[in-house]
Chain A
Amino acid sequence: MNSRSRVYDQALSLHAYRNRLQIATFAIFLGCGLLFLRFFWLQIFQYEHYRTLAEANRITISPVVPSRGIIMDREGRPLANNYSAYTLEIMPYQVDDLDETIDALSKIVDITPRDRRRFHKLYDESRNFDSLPIRNRLSEVEVAKFAVNRYRFPGVEIRARLFRNYPEGLTASHLIGYIGRINDNDISKLDDAGLLPNYRGSEHLGKVGIEQSYERELHGLTGSEQLETDAGGRAVHSLARKEPVSGNDLTLSIDLGLQQVAENAFGNRRGALVAIEPSTGEVLAFVSQPGFDPNLFVDGIDQANWENLNQSIDKPLNNRASRGLYPPGSTIKPFMALAGLQTKHRTPESVIQDPGYFAFPGSSHRYRDWKPEGHGTVDLHRSIVQSCDTYYYTLANELGIDVMHDYLAQFGFGEKTGIDLEGELPGVLPSRAWKKTRFHQEWFGGETVISGIGQGYNQMTPLQMAGAVAALANGGKFYQPHIVKSIRESATGNRRDIKPVLVRDAGLREEDFNAVRDAMVDVLLPGGTAAQAGAGTPYKFAGKTGTAQVVAIKQNEKYVESRVKERNRDHAWFVGFAPADAPRIALAVLVENGGHGGTSAAPIARQVVDYWLLGKKANSPASDLEADTPPAKPGTTKPSDENEEHHND
């Protein structure tokens, strides 16, 4: 750098600076010119046009709400659809005295105190320019009566609106979910997503289930109508209209018949069932019992029904299938067995001696087998068929918790399955690292031992168990469970199929897989833990029973003792797939407080698999085992105390 440029030449710099200022000044005038031209154009050339628009700006643009997409089962049977009905609506900003108007209206059409309460609630929550319904589903006579008196009620109108309807009521309620009124929270979420303009005029959105997770597909595109309005704000005539685009229709992979068979099989017991097609991840049935009637929520649920649902001891609003957490118990054993085989800690032939317990060398603490006298000499096959605990205590101790964790994680335990429903829980698949983060504690060897039989920290959802057993049935290929099979775009009429997503492949060796599968088949044959439920199947049914211990329940003294005891019983599990050599269905069944898996969960699975593989007629052998009882109605469940909690929360 030469010395000249180092010397700061103030005069030169000032000159350059003033030069730049001049350029800036020029730019400013250029900008003003541009603005002026624009204003000149708008206010001189286009003046007439805009004046007319402003005069008639009583031309209001009002949204035209699209009709919501329909939800169907895999055979096209409707699970959620719409129907049209008349509503009587008030535009509060055009009415001076709301109560007076409502009083006058009630002389013409029936208005119950409940209608009034609901209206006031809506009014308090609503956005500025809403027209709010005071009465839904007017009869023809009422419509005619009001039409005659309409002149007396400025700001009150009859509108035809679409209502959501769930024709199957309680069936698959957790899965389908429901729509509800848009509240402030929803508005801010929509705003953040930039979707609010599309919801102008919409009053509902999906709150739970498929209705929620596919809200964007189901809602459709809001149209608009330019209306010329009179001084009172009433539409005189329509100037232009942009038609709305209806929401997309969803076809689920659920089979309504199978779903109903499954729900009926539960009777009035609590629990969950998830059935999956292993080769695709399609969910065939998704049960959480008891259910609720989603129709109650559409127009805002009333206090009595809400309390009934919310405070019931049975917790019907809990989605047990994807949010219920239960220790997997012995249903973990087939996966543990695979872990032993794949890591070469076991061969199908290697045996252990079971004296009825496992103990660490030099320790007097005994980890007991469920069979006090022990199973004697046990190989892998017997360990599954008879559900030997000691075999898995030993195996777990040899593998160590972290090897177990890493192996079992391949089947999707400990993380969300990624199903197309919101709110799914990941459960817990423990490891040293997990315990460190969760409790800031070291891992103990004894915790490994009990993890080997699916107890301890293990917490899984029925959905996860179903996903895992589907992956097992599939030779280790885990397809993401999904519920929507195809989406029909209403704009184009095209059908979009949802493709199976292969998440991971545990890569089971064939001989390992065969050893475990054969043992699982024998579980349902004489000598197995679910022999009773497996009796007389014309197909090969592979499965595994399990029980999950119900530990500490906070109980309220008010409860009758018999009830308490029922709630203290073990949860019953069954996981399985069939036909064993070419699986078409894999499922997990959990019966809360059901006792033993073989006697209470397995028969439900049997009915479901029979229906799926043999068709409707062949529903016989299983129904001997379990009497069909109608599902519990939400209205009849006993009210209970909020303190009551299942350990699986």
Chain B
Amino acid sequence: MIKRWIARIMAPLDPSLLGLILSLMALGLAVLYSASGRDMMTVIGQARSMMIALLGMCVLAHIPPQYLMRLAAPAYLFGLLMLIGVALFGEVSHGARRWLHLGPVRIQPSEFMKLALPIALAAWFQYREESLNFRDFLVALLLFIIPVGLIAKQPDLGTALLIASSGCFALFLAGLSWRVIALAVVSGAAALPVAWTFLHDYQRQRVLTLINPASDPLGAGYHIIQSTISVGSGGVFGKGWLSGTQAHLDFLPEPTTDFIFAVFCEEFGLLGELILLALLVSLVIRGLRIAGHASSVFNRLAAGAICLTLFTYTFVNMGMVAGILPVVGVPLPFISYGGTSLITLMLGQGILMSIRYHRTIVKR
């Protein structure tokens, strides 16, 4: 009886995805233990977030994609309303308005939008499937430019760019013509100098600092310098778990969140990085396979955008730690400390699993 129950619960969970996720989580906890300075409380807290995230993934995996699709528009509108709410009444912390108080709950609507936007775009293209034309792409562009603009205004440029990229992935996968893509890339490059004038001073500083970290050794440049030292001193095999010096001597900023990968590099070296990258890329590739075999436009686009966004996070975080991308607050998937982003991430994985599982049941 219980066995049957468990079997039913486990049925939609893709074994390879689940295996990869669990390995990544285990690795994440191990690194976190070291990065937090052997703080068991932090590790237990993160493990609890992981449990909740796994539960959330499980629930979504059971919901057939066509129901998810129906939720897309309301979820998107809800996210948009919350973002407007943040712009009007949000709590200001460190000069940015990112949090919204709803009674006792404090939420970060931009986090919610990370998932709601690709789903909404996928649903839109599904809805227009029969008569897709260029105007539909323009509408889709509008759908993602509004939330991205609101988030950039908070200001949270990192998240805004990441959400924008998830929107771009959906457009790309939906078949936006190469001519338009080329045009967008060219005009985007041309608009860069204009965008520069809209950036906050500290955001400009981050970009400038990336080009020459030595120009600002006390501010943002300090982060880049210290994190590069961590990575470089790791060598091929690393200094060994719990033996990194950079993190433990407090040279690294945010060693448990945005810069946890620097701790990882220092302790596990190039080999460790290859393994971690392999795990993450396998997860992405597995997801893309699911996307490739998905049964409807919604499923394909949602799955594709979720996977590509996951890779973008990985790439941006690692690039930042390695000193080739500006310092933007992006966590490393499954490894960085923090519950909210983990849950969003895992809900995405749940959707992937649901798409895979229900494909075999609802045949077209």
Chain A positions within 8 Å of B, measured between CB atoms, are: 6, 8, 13, 16-18, 20-21, 24-25, 28-29, 31-32, 34-36, 38-40, 42-44, 46-47, 49-51, 53-55, 57-58, 61, 63, 188, 191-194, 196-198, 200, 222, 224, 242
Tell me whether B285 and A25 are in contact (CB under 8 A): yes
Within 8 A of A (CB), among B222-243: 222, 228-236
The answer for the CA separation of A225 and B129 in the assembled complex, in Å, is: 62
Q: Does B200 contact A (CB under 8 A)?
A: yes
B residues near A8, Cβ cutoff 8 Å: 129-132
Can you report 12 residue pairs joining A to B where beta carbons are below 8 Å apart? A24-B288, A28-B281, A29-B281, A31-B315, A40-B270, A47-B236, A50-B228, A57-B245, A61-B222, A191-B94, A193-B201, A197-B219
Tell me whether B95 and A196 are in contact (CB under 8 A): no
Q: Does B269 contact A (CB under 8 A)?
A: yes
Tell me whether A43 and B265 are in contact (CB under 8 A): yes
B residues near A194, Cβ cutoff 8 Å: 200-202, 205
A residues near B265, Cβ cutoff 8 Å: 39, 43
B residues near A198, Cβ cutoff 8 Å: 218-219
Interface segment, B53-61, B318-326, B329-337, B348-356? B318-326
Give the residue name and chain of the B residue nearest to A40 (CB).
B270
Q: Does B284 contact A (CB under 8 A)?
A: yes
Q: Which of A25, A46, A193 contacts B232 (CB 8 A)?
A: A46
Q: Does B19 contact A (CB under 8 A)?
A: no
B residues near A13, Cβ cutoff 8 Å: 175, 297
Closest chain-B Cβ to A572's Cβ sits at a distance in Å of 46
Within 8 A of A (CB), among B169-184: 169, 172-173, 175
Tell me whether B217 and A54 are in contact (CB under 8 A): no
B residues near A29, Cβ cutoff 8 Å: 281
The answer for the CA separation of A240 and B245 in the assembled complex, in Å, is: 22
Tell me whether B95 and A50 are in contact (CB under 8 A): no
Q: Which of B219, B229, B300, B323 contacts A53 (CB 8 A)?
A: B229
Task: Decide: A43 near B269, CB < 8 A? Known: A17-B175, A17-B300, A28-B281.
Answer: yes
Give the residue name and chain of the A residue nearest to B324 (CB).
A38
Closest chain-B Cβ to A130's Cβ sits at a distance in Å of 14
Tell me whether A21 and B219 are in contact (CB under 8 A): no
Tell me whether A39 and B270 are in contact (CB under 8 A): yes
Q: Does B118 contact A (CB under 8 A)?
A: no
The answer for the CA separation of A191 and B274 in the assembled complex, in Å, is: 37
Within 8 A of A (CB), among B212-271: 216-220, 222, 228-236, 245-246, 249, 251, 265-266, 269-270
A residues near B319, Cβ cutoff 8 Å: 35, 38
Tell me whether A57 and B249 are in contact (CB under 8 A): yes
Tell me whether A222 and B218 are in contact (CB under 8 A): yes
A interface, over-half SS: helix
Within 8 A of A (CB), among B39-57: none
Q: Does B156 contact A (CB under 8 A)?
A: no
Q: Does B311 contact A (CB under 8 A)?
A: yes
The answer for the CA separation of A198 and B300 in the assembled complex, in Å, is: 49
Tell me whether A38 and B291 are in contact (CB under 8 A): no
The answer for the CA separation of A618 and B230 in the assembled complex, in Å, is: 74
B residues near A16, Cβ cutoff 8 Å: 175
Q: Which of A20, A35, A43, A197 contacts B235 (CB 8 A)?
A: A43
Closest chain-A Cβ to B318's Cβ sits at a distance in Å of 5
B residues near A200, Cβ cutoff 8 Å: 218-219
Tell me whether A18 and B233 are in contact (CB under 8 A): no
Q: Does B304 contact A (CB under 8 A)?
A: yes
Give the residue name and chain of the A residue nearest to B226 (CB).
A57
Tell me whether B94 and A188 are in contact (CB under 8 A): yes
Tell me whether B232 and A47 are in contact (CB under 8 A): yes
Q: Does B277 contact A (CB under 8 A)?
A: yes
A residues near B202, Cβ cutoff 8 Å: 194
Tell me whether A28 and B231 are in contact (CB under 8 A): no
Tell me whether B232 and A43 are in contact (CB under 8 A): yes
Give the residue name and chain of the A residue nearest to B206 (CB).
A194
B residues near A188, Cβ cutoff 8 Å: 94-95
Give the residue name and chain of the A residue nearest to B238 (CB).
A43
Give the residue name and chain of the A residue nearest to B215 (CB).
A242
Q: Which of A31, A46, A63, A191 contacts B95 (CB 8 A)?
A: A191
Q: Does B292 contact A (CB under 8 A)?
A: yes
The answer for the CA separation of A50 and B234 in the assembled complex, in Å, is: 8
Tell me whether B130 and A24 are in contact (CB under 8 A): no
Closest chain-A Cβ to B85's Cβ sits at a distance in Å of 22
Within 8 A of A (CB), among B159-218: 169, 172-173, 175, 200-202, 205, 216-218
Closest chain-A Cβ to B110's Cβ sits at a distance in Å of 19
Tell me whether A38 and B222 are in contact (CB under 8 A): no
The answer for the CA separation of A50 and B131 in the assembled complex, in Å, is: 58
Tell me whether B235 and A51 are in contact (CB under 8 A): yes
Q: Does B145 contact A (CB under 8 A)?
A: no
Tell me whether A43 and B236 are in contact (CB under 8 A): yes
Q: Give me the 4 closest cross-chain CB pairs, A-B, nearest first.
A: A50-B232, A197-B219, A192-B95, A194-B202
B residues near A21, Cβ cutoff 8 Å: 173, 288, 291-292, 304
Tell me whether B304 and A38 are in contact (CB under 8 A): no
The answer for the CA separation of A43 and B324 in the assembled complex, in Å, is: 15
Task: Decide: A44 near B270, CB < 8 A? Known: A24-B288, A196-B219, A197-B218.
Answer: yes
Within 8 A of A (CB), among B287-327: 288, 291-292, 297, 300, 304, 308, 311, 315, 318-319, 322-324
Closest chain-B Cβ to A198's Cβ sits at a distance in Å of 8
The answer for the CA separation of A25 and B304 in the assembled complex, in Å, is: 11
Closest chain-A Cβ to B304's Cβ sits at a distance in Å of 6
